[in-house]
Amino acid sequence: MINKVKILTRMKRFSFYVLLFPFLCLPLLSLSQLSYELSSDREQPINLEADHADIDDMQGISIYTGNVILTQGSTEIKCHKLTLYTDEERQLKKAIAAGKDKLATYKQRPDGKEQDFKARAETIIYYLTTEKIHLLKQATVWQGGDRFSGDTIVYDTAKDSVVATSKKDKEGKAVGDRIRVTIQPRKQN
């Protein structure tokens, strides 16, 4: 039986790319929809640091490697490699954040919340056209004491739903760690 759980609820800074980068990355920061970002985040400048950048406008692919840190307001993405894919109109269609020695991480402070929303996985893929975020291998999302983990987590931002699955063998049977969910009791008013 497949275990599934569904829950609703550094390269130096490059000044030559500062003007183009926000245009390419603004949709990436729709990741903030994952946690209802601070309303002021989208008004903040985007800052990107990496050890290396390889930008191919003709192919619509930008690759940043080595201690990559992207910030905008309260949003922060850290990974070893960040790959951005754009369409013919230079609109971002997919973003992939991958870890190497450490997991890729995402952090955001939601409006009206005292705790950051956080996610981590070996690979984080955001598909803008389908509005889905895939957290692959060693995936965990949490806010405060609430935690959700599994081998794969798919978050549908349009439907505000999360589906997690455990690792499966060739026959489709769950192997290794199972899905783990911790939900803290809510305070009564």
Q: What is the pLDDT of residue 9?
A: 28
C-alpha dihedral over 17, 96, 69, 47, to 10 degrees? 40
Residues 73, 75, 80: CA angle, nearest 5 degrees: 125
Q: Which helix (H) or strand (E) holds 21?
A: helix 20-25
- What is the predicted pLDDT for the residue at 104? 97
Residue 138's pLDDT is: 92
3-state secondary structure of 35: helix
Per-residue pLDDT of the chain (189 residues; tens, 9 = 90+): 333 333 322 233 332 333 333 333 333 333 333 344 555 666 777 788 999 999 998 999 999 999 999 887 887 889 999 998 988 888 778 889 999 999 999 888 877 778 888 899 999 998 878 878 899 999 998 888 888 899 999 977 667 677 888 887 888 777 777 888 898 888 776
Two tokens at 149? 């983990």
Q: What is the pLDDT of residue 102?
A: 94
pLDDT recorded at residue 18: 31
124 neighbors 79 (Cβ within 8 angstroms): yes
